[in-house]
Amino acid sequence: MSARPVASLAARLVYVTAPSLAEAEALARLAVERRLAACANILPGMRSLYWWQGKLEQADEVVLLLKTTEALADELTRSIAQAHSYDCPCVVVLPIEGGHPAFLDWIAAETAKPDGTGATG
């Protein structure tokens, strides 16, 4: 069995919720244009139930899925949290345990600076 490429081991999926399609699109554009994420998927039409300030709330939200690398996950999280309209936005980083190697390598390539290192700010 051959070893997985390093890029495959470093891929991350960042799950974000947003209050509107417009905000999700703005957050996606920020992440992709800065090359903090290789790709953003926007999934409108989610209904959330959650506790907020002692009350059970419900809201229509939009899911944003971002594909990035382990090296950029913290910077991406900070950038999304800073630009987000929520006081306490959902921004969670999930490891990608496997997948199509060419796609995982593409994530690494599209988030790299021209010198081959990860993107910055």
Give residue 7's pLDDT band: very low, low, confident or very high (50, 70, 90). Answer: low
Between 8 and 91, the higher pLDDT residue: 91
pLDDT of residue 121: 45
The torsion defined by the Cα of 60, 30, 8 and 99, in degrees rounded to 10, comes to 30
**Kind and range of the H or E element at 29?**
helix 21-33
Q: What is the DSSP letter of 114?
A: T
Residue 116 resides in a domain: no
Residue 99 resides in a domain: yes
Residue 117 resides in a domain: no
* Per-residue model confidence as pLDDT tens digits over 45-95: 999 999 999 999 999 999 999 999 999 999 999 999 999 999 999 999 999
Give residue 116's pLDDT band: very low, low, confident or very high (50, 70, 90). Answer: low
CATH number for the domain that contains residue 100: 3.30.70.120
Domain of 32, in residue numbers = 6-110
Out of 24-38, 62-76, 107-121, least confident range: 107-121
Residue 97 resides in a domain: yes
Closest CA relative to residue 35, chosen from 118, 117, 111: 111
Residue 119 resides in a domain: no
26 phi-psi bin (left φ>0, alpha ψ -120 to 50, beta other): alpha
Share of the chain above pLDDT 70, in %: 85
The three-state DSSP-derived secondary structure of 46-69 is EEEEEEECCEEEEEEEEEEEEEEE
Q: How many domains does the chain have?
A: 1
Residue 72 resides in a domain: yes
Contact 103, 13 (CB under 8 A): no
